[in-house]
Amino acid sequence: MGFIKKNGKISPQMVIKEIILISFNVFLMLGAFGFGVLLYIYFQAPIAVNLTKRLSPRTTLIYDRTGQHILYEIHGEENRIILTHDEIPDSIRVATIAAEDDSFYRHFGIDLFSIARALKNNIQKNSMSQGASTITQQLARNAFLGREKTLRRKIIELVIAIKIEKKYTKDQILDMYLNEIPYGSNAYGVEAAAKTFFGKNAKDLTLDEAALLAAMPKATSYYSPFGNHLNELLSRQQKILDRIGTLQLATRTKVVAAKAVPITEKIIPFAAMIDSPHFVFYVRDELEKQFGTQVLEQGGLRVYTTLDYNKQKLAEQILTESDANLKKYGASNAALVSLDPKSGQILAMVGSKNYYDDSIDGQVNVTTRPRQPGSSFKPFAYATAFEKGYQPETRILDAKTDFGADGSGKHYIPRNYDGKFHGVVTMRQALAMSLNVPAVKTLSLAGVQATIDLAHRLGITTLNETNRYGLSLVLGGGEVKLLDETAGYAVFANDGKKNSPTAILKVTDSVGKTLYAPTAQNESVLDPQIARKINSILSDNAARVPIFGPNNKLFIPGKIVAAKTGTTSEFKDAWTVGFTPSITTGVWVGNNNNHPMRAGADGSYVAAPIWNKFMSQVLNDYPVDPFIAYDKAPDTNKAPDNIVEKVTYIKKASGKKISEKKAKKLDSDEVEIRIEYSPAKK
């Protein structure tokens, strides 16, 4: 385009006119291009209607059975708990508006005055250091964009902010912002922040606390109360409170009072919130199997567990209080688990005396670790014998017995705990007094494999290398888990019906829809008559008195309880497991490193006192519930029909056999009685 000459010359007016025309054309082209770009960005930007449906990573909460106690929060890098409008307090609303965007209720998503001011400062500093993002823009950035500081990202952010403002009310936008924004320390949203920094729910935030939280999103690391800039954080909090007063978002009296609060004293120490840790991690393992790690960390599940919070705290307290007695016997650790036999629900689980004590391997959950159970395994052998037709009244001889080579080249000659032999006793007496020799004889009659099979039916998950075990199995020669054995005893308590241990009542999503809710199995795995026979023996305090005394720790005055102790060789493990029809509890005591306790540290002295103290208190919540009596056979002191009983009388002086008639004429210490059982001939 050439300039028009006048008289062969170019006039100044013509130059100006041409410049104006060129500039106008350029402006039109740039404007059209810019409008086209903005139009393209507008339609390509994420649709704001999806914002409320967007699945932000949400924190999974694990509760006790009442839903009143949060035991643990599971999350990935974003710990977020979504609140409704009514659950967000006004204190955090006004503090956030004062801190981030005091024109929030007047603009349409962007604040042109703030943008112009920030643009001027950035040009002067030749940087993009100052922003002018409204609350709506910050919501757009956190929901859809990254945090890079580029012109393109800023333009898209502005467009999305306008879309959000067109779609949602101001209150909805502020609610979404307060549920979305990061506060540092993996806390996303005001609820997670309130719990992380003040240990409370957002609805309970005071104005001073809300102002401190509102100070953090600007620079979460720099303004972290756990970092090195606490003074700067406090200064920003004070300015926010002043701004609240200036904007008249709170009365002057409230602002002055909030500024005077020593807020640092309210900040809780940085630590993962975890209550009942062994139980919590047991639950988490179950949840990961059911839902997978990603859903667990981001799905916002609500997990209602079986834990009875009062029983759990009581168990923890009792284990702590038992420390002096444990040290007396050279034990450093103890564990307790309690179940509802009618459902299998775990009511309490304490896997060690102190989860945080590394010197005792406190983080190891002993309730789920294989340990030798000692004599507490005997009821499984006797139950197997009863299945084969033997009775609690069946006679058995307690005398020195050589059971032959045990595989090590040595002969297996077990001894009783009291070092004595008691002659002819019934199986009731033998089990109640925990006599070892009759127990080994009972296992030989019942069969090792048959006993293991019964134990597996009742819930024992170990003892799978069957070739390893011999007759010493009945004295605890194989490893079992405290949780498993307690569940096995629960089958006796539940009249032969099995409910596998469960720690979960139900799992819902964040809006309350049930995703998982296990039900009681009540699978019949043992004849009720067999269970009743075991219950009758283990609750017969008179039968155990000769060994344990009348006021032993397996007896609870005014209550009807069944219980059995166990002690392993060299006093490495001490057990007590006992029950009523309503509750079953198992206790283990020992050292995690398998170091022996002191001599005499048997189950009745170190584990039974813990069991007794726990059961004595929790049974006050249950009615006295007697066990159902078993049906006695017409002549129960005889061997079953399919078994032949052979009784031999030996005169000790001569070593010769004599008749029963002659034996009765001699003193008992002059006669040795031998009783043998064998299958009846078909």
pLDDT in tens, 84-124: 999 999 999 999 999 998 888 888 778 777 666 656 565 55
Of the CA atoms within 13 Å of residue 43, those in its CB half-sphere come to: 5
Q: How far is CA 190 from CA 55, 70, 245, 250, 275, in A?
A: 17, 17, 22, 20, 22
Residue ranges per structural domain of the chain:
5-44, 77-266, 346-621, 643-679
Of 181-185, 299-303, 482-486, give the range with the top mean pLDDT: 482-486
pLDDT at 651: 81
**CB under 8 Å, gap of 24 or more: what pairs does 414-418 form?**
414/440, 414/472, 414/475, 417/547, 417/567, 417/602, 418/547
pLDDT at 254: 96
Distance between CA atoms of 501 and 398, rounded to whole angstroms?
37
What proportion of the chain, given as a percentage, has pLDDT over 70?
A: 82
Q: What is the mean pLDDT of residues 494-504?
A: 97
Least Cα distance to 444 among 379, 381, 537, 390 occurs for 381
**β-pair partners for 232:** none
Provide the b/e sequence for 549-562 (b: ≥16 CB within 10 Å). eeebbbbbeeeebb
Least Cα distance to 307 among 504, 585, 508, 516 occurs for 504
Indicate whether 477 pLDDT > 70.
Answer: yes
Q: For 346-621, which CATH superfamily applies?
A: DD-peptidase/beta-lactamase superfamily (3.40.710.10)
Q: What are φ and ψ of residue 422, in 5° steps?
A: -120, 15
What proportion of the chain, given as a percentage, has pLDDT over 90?
A: 55
Q: With bands split at pLDDT 50, 70 and 90, how would you rate the model's confidence at 21?
A: low
pLDDT at 306: 98
Name the helix (H) or strand (E) containing 183: strand 182-184
Least Cα distance to 330 among 144, 572, 168, 513 occurs for 572
Indicate whether 565 pLDDT > 60.
Answer: yes
Query: Which of 41-45, 202-206, 527-531, 560-564 shows the lowest mean pLDDT across its residues?
Result: 41-45
Query: Identity (one letter) of the amino acid at 73?
Result: E
**CB under 8 Å, gap of 24 or more: what pairs does 543-550 form?**
543/428, 543/429, 543/432, 543/433, 544/432, 544/433, 544/434, 546/422, 546/429, 546/433, 547/417, 547/418, 547/433, 547/434, 547/435, 548/433, 548/604
The distance between the two most distant Cα atoms of the chain, rounded to a whole number of Å, is 163
How many CB atoms lie under 10 A from the CB of residue 257?
15
Distance between CA atoms of 160 and 109, rounded to whole angstroms?
9
Distance between CA atoms of 119 and 224, rounded to whole angstroms?
28
Q: How far is CA 618 from CA 20, 310, 561, in A?
A: 94, 9, 12
What is the tens place of the pLDDT at every residue in 448-457? 999 999 999 9
User: What is the DSSP track for 443-500?
Assistant: HHHH-HHHHHHHHHHHT------GGG--GGGGGT-S-EEHHHHHHHHHHHHTTTEE--
Indicate whether 480 pLDDT > 70.
Answer: yes
Q: With bands split at pLDDT 50, 70 and 90, how would you rate the model's confidence at 531?
A: very high
Quick one: DSSP state of residue 627?
A: P
Q: What is the mean pLDDT of residues 22-40?
A: 55
Query: Which of 47-56, 94-103, 330-339 shows the lowest mean pLDDT across its residues?
Result: 47-56
Cα 429 off chain centre by:
40
Q: With bands split at pLDDT 50, 70 and 90, how would you rate the model's confidence at 12?
A: low
Distance between CA atoms of 180 and 143, rounded to whole angstroms?
8
Place of tokens 């609303």: 93
Quick one: DSSP state of residue 276?
A: S
Query: Identity (one letter) of the amino acid at 166?
Result: K
Query: Which of 229-243, 341-355, 660-674 shows the lowest mean pLDDT across its residues?
Result: 660-674
What is the tens place of the pLDDT at every residue in 193-209? 998 899 899 999 999 99
- Per-residue H/E/C for 356-410: CCHHHCCCCCHHHCEECCHHHHHHHHHHHHHHCCCCCCCEEEECCCCCCECCCCC
Q: What is the mean pLDDT of residues 255-274?
A: 85
SS3 300: coil
Distance between CA atoms of 335 and 588, rounded to whole angstroms?
5
Indicate whether 587 pLDDT > 90.
Answer: yes
Query: Options 3.40.50.10710, 1.10.3810.10, 1.10.1760.20, 3.40.50.10490; which CATH number does 77-266 get?
Result: 1.10.3810.10
User: Chain-wide mean pLDDT for the chain?
Assistant: 86
Instruction: Report how many helices (DSSP H) and strands (DSSP E) the chain contains, helices first.
Output: 24, 24
Q: With bands split at pLDDT 50, 70 and 90, how would you rate the model's confidence at 616?
A: very high
The pairing of beta strand 523-524 with beta strand 497-498: antiparallel
Sign of the four-CA dihedral 421, 424, 430, 433: negative
Those residues whose C-beta lies under 8 Å from the C-beta of residue 586, and which sit 6 or more positions away, are: 336, 337, 338, 367, 482, 483, 485, 486, 489, 575, 576, 577, 611
Least Cα distance to 427 among 413, 412, 441 occurs for 441
Q: What is the mean pLDDT of residues 647-658?
A: 80
pLDDT at 528: 97
Indicate whether 1 pLDDT > 60.
Answer: no
pLDDT at 129: 46
Query: Which of 24-38, 110-124, 325-339, 503-517 shows the lowest mean pLDDT across its residues?
Result: 24-38
What is the tens place of the pLDDT at every residue in 156-198? 778 888 888 888 999 999 999 999 888 887 788 999 899 889 9
What is the tens place of the pLDDT at every residue in 355-399? 888 899 898 999 999 999 999 999 999 999 999 999 999 999 888
Angle ∠(167,170,171) on CA atoms, nearest 5: 115
Q: Are 373 and 379 in contact, with CB atoms under 8 Å apart? A: no
Indicate whether 229 pLDDT > 70.
Answer: yes
pLDDT at 54: 56
Of 182-191, 330-339, 395-404, give the range with the top mean pLDDT: 330-339
Query: Identity (one letter) of the amino acid at 167?
Result: K
pLDDT at 442: 95
Q: With bands split at pLDDT 50, 70 and 90, how would you rate the model's confidence at 5?
A: low
Alpha-helix runs per DSSP H in 565-607:
603-606
Q: How far is CA 265 from CA 204, 224, 261, in A?
A: 17, 15, 9
